Structure 1
Amino acid sequence: MTVIGYARVSTNDQKTDTQVDRLKAAGCEVIRQEKVSGRSREGRSELETILDFVRPGDQLVVVKLDRLGRSTRDVLNLVHELEQKGASLRVLEPEVNTAGPMGRMVLTVLGMVAEMELGFIKERQRAGIEKAKAEGVYKGRPAKLDHALIRKLKAEGVGATEIAKQVGCGRAMVYKVLNATVCISAARHD
């Protein structure tokens, strides 16, 4: 039996160190880690590697359920895949083990609660944004590109590829900024 740890964070500026320490303390012999969103299984190559090589009797360990997946359906599908291969899942916080029927039931309930909590967070965020918009405070994400510089370079005859290199974006974004400028100009002349 191999005890395999899986640590995941959503963004590159987050660290898996705390999770890795907890997984080592839990007796994990192998620990796979990745920095990718848990919304879906797409792009989660370390998790796929684990699922490809897990054997009967192996145990997958995660610190918290949300490290495995954000939706109840995804988590339950992963548990089902593990069971089909004769392996089990252990969650450290709160302690749940799918090796028995009680663990699977508790896991299902925890997954549903986690999904519901994520829904509440999104609702509060949406409500906050709507309130800020109504008060004229919310302007959206600040522009990361210097649109004036893009227009200036284009007016000087610099090509889109060179503009993209100079401002640090793709050509498509240069065209998007330039097309938006044309649309705004056209709207003002109507």
Structure 2
Amino acid sequence: MRKFGYARVSTSQQSLEVQKKALLKEGVRSSRIFSDVGSRANLDREGLNLLRIKVEEGDLVLVTRLDRLGSDTSEMIKLIKEFSELGVYIRFIKEGLSTEGTMGKMVVTILSAVADAERERILERTNEGRIDAKSKGIKFGRKRSIDREKVIHLDVQKVGATEIAKQLGIGRSTVYAILKEEAQKE
């Protein structure tokens, strides 16, 4: 049985190193570790696709955690089934789970569903908090860095949008957006 590893992070600001070290510690050769940086909701990932090509019947794929392989229950089931049909097993290090055997597949599917439900609850709580904060007048996003008063003053002085944009170092579309917002206030 050959061991392969799969590691994934969601953004380029995160590091794959911790996952790779854990896979090496489990006996996976560095040349057999495949990785991706990007959204877990996309099954068409370069590293995952290469892994799919390299594995053969009887191989074992190690992944540090359940959520590193797939993003939701249906995706996890699809990947587990795909690897299972190839005769390839998946072992999740942190959870201590493996798809080897019927019980292993069942437990992984159930935990995947639980993880999916937890993500949904987190989204709901986040949205509820955001709605509550907005109702209290809290504004989101970065603070405006454009002197809106200068845009309005120059417009009143009959300076054209192109010249306003040039003077203030902003885009013409920004000038138009500010003027439109001001017109709607009136």
Query: Does TM, scored on the shorter chain, surpass 0.5?
Result: yes
Aligned length: 173
- Residues 173-188 of structure 1: pairs in structure 2 closer than 5 A: 174=171, 176-188=173-185
Give, in angstroms, the shift of residue 185 of structure 1: 4.2
Write the deviation string for residues 69-97 of structure 1: whole angstroms up to 9, x where unpaired: 11011011011111122211111111111
Give, in angstroms, the shift of residue 146 of structure 1: 4.6
Moved over 4 A (4+): 145-149
CA distance in 2, matches of 1:36, 1:89: 21
* Structure 1, gaps ≥5 residues long: 168-173
Task: Say which SS state the counterpart of residue 28 (structure 1) adopts.
Answer: coil
Pick one of 16, 37, 40 that aligns with 1:38. Answer: 40
- Percent identical among aligned pairs is 29
* CA-based RMSD: 2.5
Task: Say which SS state the counterpart of residue 93 (structure 1) adopts.
Answer: coil
Q: Do 1:58 and 1:88's aligned partners in 2 also have CA atoms closer than 8 Å? A: yes
> Given the superposition, is the C-alpha separation of residues 135 and 81 from structure 1 closer, same or farther in structure 2, using an over 3 Å criterion?
same
> Given the superposition, is the C-alpha separation of residues 148 and 4 from structure 1 closer, same or farther in structure 2, using an over 3 Å criterion?
farther
Q: What TM-score results when the alignment is normalised by the length of structure 1?
A: 0.79
Q: Does 1:66 align with 2:74?
A: no
Structure exhibiting the larger radius of gyration computed from Cα positions: 2
CA distance in 1, matches of 2:176, 2:2: 57
Amino acid at match of 1:35: V
Write the deviation string for residues 85-140 of structure 1: whole angstroms up to 9, x where unpaired: 22111111111111210110000111011001111111111111111111112x12
